[in-house]
Amino acid sequence: SKWENIKDYQDILFERMGKVAKITINRPEKRNAFTPVTVQEMIDAFNYCRDDASIGAIILTGQGDLAFCSGGDQSVRGNGGYVGPDHIARLNVLDLQHLIRIIPKPVIAMVRGWSVGGGNILQLVCDLTIAADNAKFMQTGPKVGSFDAGYGSAYLARVIGHKRAKEVWFLCKPYSADEAFQMGWINKVVPLADVEKETLAWCDEILKKSPTAIRFIKAAMNADTDGIAGLQQIAGDSTMLFYTSDEGKEGRDAFLEKRDPDFDKYPKFP
């Protein structure tokens, strides 16, 4: 393949092809269930993507054809969370969900096979989802003694509607890729063999567009959903743009030069 390795990890693969980065959960023997280590590695890789200006889009996927991700690894679930080598019980996938939401670049889930539990919420919080025709979507929390009442419930209800979101969680049944598409849960279903080609084609289309425009659209939708935390995101983007303006720089320069700022010369657009 033309994918180039970016960095070695224990539980994930982290590669790039041109401006597209790909993060692959690599525990296929467990249907790509995640542990605190898997999640911490994904957080590290997403932060790398956030800082690297040459990366414009990020694909999140799972190794193999059988699963995207089966959620938290139940064999390391301890008292109050999932336990890693530091023996601390964590729900650090919530930090990862938040990071996927705030990273100012498009994140596309590429789903083959099962997308289950906390894994299915990772798919949900990605900006777009391209699924293979063998994909299956399911929440299991109420069966296995868990629930995601955050993005997993409230945001799911925004995406697929309240009646359907309650059905998904109350019945814990699997949904086919076509059913998920009908619900507006995912963006496109393609034959298994074409899923990476299709996902890369979507990335290429997005990469031709203005990254600043894409960044503000993502932040605006977050702001509507995330309250003041969402406003913080789009407000931060506004501050970033203001810092690049002459008016913004005049305030800084006046302070450093110990004089009054002169803002009169800057345009006041209607």
Contact segment (CB under 6 A) with ligand 1HA among 8-16, 70-78, 177-185, 192-200 equals: 70-78
**Annotated binding-site residue? 116:** yes
Query: Using the rule CB under 6 A, which residue among 6, 21, 33, 130 binds ligand 1HA?
Result: 33
**Annotated binding-site residue? 82:** yes
In sign, the C-alpha dihedral spanning 80, 82, 83, 86 is negative
Contacts to ligand 1HA from residues 116-135, by CB under 6 A: 116-118
Query: Using the rule CB under 6 A, which residue among 19, 30, 50, 188 binds ligand 1HA?
Result: 30
31 vs 112, beta carbon nearer ligand 1HA = 31
Per DSSP bridges, beta strands 12-17 and 4-8 are: antiparallel
Is residue 62 within the footprint of ligand 1HA (CB under 6 A)?
no
Give Cα separations from 4 to 11, 20, 26, 111 (angstroms).
17, 11, 16, 21
Candidates 20, 45, 43, 23; CA nearest to 32 is 23
Query: Using the rule CB under 6 A, which residue among 17, 43, 83, 94 binds ligand 1HA?
Result: 94
Using CA atoms, how far apart are residues 37 and 217, in angstroms rounded to an integer?
32
Contact segment (CB under 6 A) with ligand 1HA among 14-22, 86-94, 209-217, 248-256 equals: 86-94
146 vs 232, beta carbon nearer ligand 1HA = 146
Is residue 93 within the footprint of ligand 1HA (CB under 6 A)?
yes
HSE, CB side, 13 Å, CA atoms: give it for residue 22: 21
Candidates 241, 234, 231, 205; CA nearest to 217 is 234
Using CA atoms, how far apart are residues 111 and 31, in angstroms rounded to an integer?
12
Query: Using the rule CB under 6 A, which residue among 15, 148, 196, 226 binds ligand 1HA?
Result: 148
Cβ-proximal residues to 78 (8 Å cutoff; 6+ apart), any chain: 89
Binding residue numbers for hydrogencarbonate: 139-141
Binding residue numbers for substrate: 31, 70-74, 82, 114-118, 140, 146, 243, 258
